[in-house]
Amino acid sequence: MSLRFAKEEANKALSRLDHIAGAIQENAQKWGIPFEAAKKMVNDLDRTADEIEKASFGEGSLATRQVAVLKGAKVLQQDSDEGYMGTFNAPTAPKQTDSDEGYMSLYRDDQTTSVSGGKSTTGRPLAP
């Protein structure tokens, strides 16, 4: 089956499918729908939305959206012994560090040239 939508119609259909999937996820337990059944419905809606998007906007649009979704993905559940899981909330986020190793901050200027040719403030040599 080949789906054809104008871009405006496709956006409306995708929005409705997303709304329905969200309502199922939020209310499945309250409505008495077993988890596996709700999961299957949401996955089928998502698959249909992907087919509409590919047919209306092309494969590139779907790939771009999936990358954006993955970048915004969060860890939904973690065990108490998995503190490292927070890293996956933003795996590519830059971490601020000193320009050199941690011990370098002991010196007034933490540049390597200061260690090699600088003056000691403790009487000990700065470099071996």
Question: In this predicted model, what pLDDT tens digit does every residue of 3-45 receive, in sequence order?
Answer: 666 788 888 988 999 999 999 999 999 999 999 999 999 999 9
Give percent of the chain above pLDDT 70.
55
Extract the tokens encoding 121: 């403030």
Count of alpha carbons within 13 angstroms of residue 82, beta-carbon side: 9
pTM of the predicted model, to two decimals?
A: 0.51
Extract the tokens encoding 61: 């649009």
Q: Which residue has the higher pLDDT, 82 or 122?
A: 122
Cα torsion through 10, 12, 16, 19, rounded to 10: 110
Greatest mean pLDDT range, 9-13, 44-48, 77-81, 120-124:
44-48
Residue 79: pLDDT above 70? no
Q: Distance between CA 10 and CA 55 in Å, rounded? A: 9
Per-residue confidence (pLDDT) for residue 24, from 0 to 100: 93
Beta carbons within 10 angstroms of residue 25's beta carbon: 13
User: How remote is the C-alpha of 106 from its chain's centroid?
Assistant: 36
Residue 5: closest CA among 63, 42, 48: 48
Residue 48: pLDDT above 80? yes
Segment 43-58 mean pLDDT: 89
Residue 99: pLDDT above 80? no
Per-residue confidence (pLDDT) for residue 113, from 0 to 100: 56
